[in-house]
Structure 1
Amino acid sequence: MPTASVGKPTGVKVKYRNTSEQDVSFGAVDASANSGDASAEAGTCSGVLPPGGECEMTYQHIAYEPGPYTGELTVETSLETFTVPLSGEAVAAEPTETENPPTETTESPPTETTEPEPTEPAETEPTESESGLT
């Protein structure tokens, strides 16, 4: 089995070839593992397979902790029940960044402020309406 991260599914396809001289009918397809979850799908291995015919089934595994694991794919047929041993390794999941990276702050140099100088009112000449002239 290919190496996979914890929590991510990995799987293999298992090919079956009917080497007998009679038709083969498929029954149950089952998966097991010593850790994590395992599942199996019959794929194209359903119904009747003629002599010389081939089909594929799938074994899938999801690990919940890092380390090696073993599993089995068990298939019932009209001729026999066979078991395929499987093994693989799960590795720790890649960490995901959930925190914002630290931002660098710089202080701006102090600026000089000066008090505004008082200004004297400007002298203006009265307009006609202000002087009361008509």
Structure 2
Amino acid sequence: MSELRHHWTPTAVLYLVLSLAGLVGTWTFNVLAIVQLRDFIGDLVTSGPAVSSITVDLLVVAVAGSAFIIVEARRLGMRFAWLYIVLSGVTAFAFTFPLFLAMRERRLTARSATSPETAPGAPAA
């Protein structure tokens, strides 16, 4: 059990807290939109240029973040990375991306504990 706790670095905990804040923050407004029977997609693109700008901004970040998730997960041997992307469609990328970063941090910590030469910042061979 102590081995499991060891991989939760302060950075991993920060990412996990951000993930939970993303889930609660976005779903508070999602539930409000559902209760009010709002056209969620329509509201995103028709409520003026500022909302459209934020929508495009977040969409581009989500696509870039999704590419990062796939590439980084493959590099680190993390399985089921696609699940973070799929879950972002039913929760929020503000939840799944920091969650991925927390799990990535744990993976990096576990790898550095087993072989110091793979630790972040270790000199290249």
Q: TM-score range by the shorter chain?
A: under 0.3
Q: Which has the larger radius of gyration?
A: 1
| Normalised TM-score (structure 2) | 0.25
Q: Which of the pair is proportionally richer in helix?
A: 2
Q: Which of the pair is proportionally richer in strand?
A: 1
Higher relative contact order (CA 8 A, sep 6+): 2
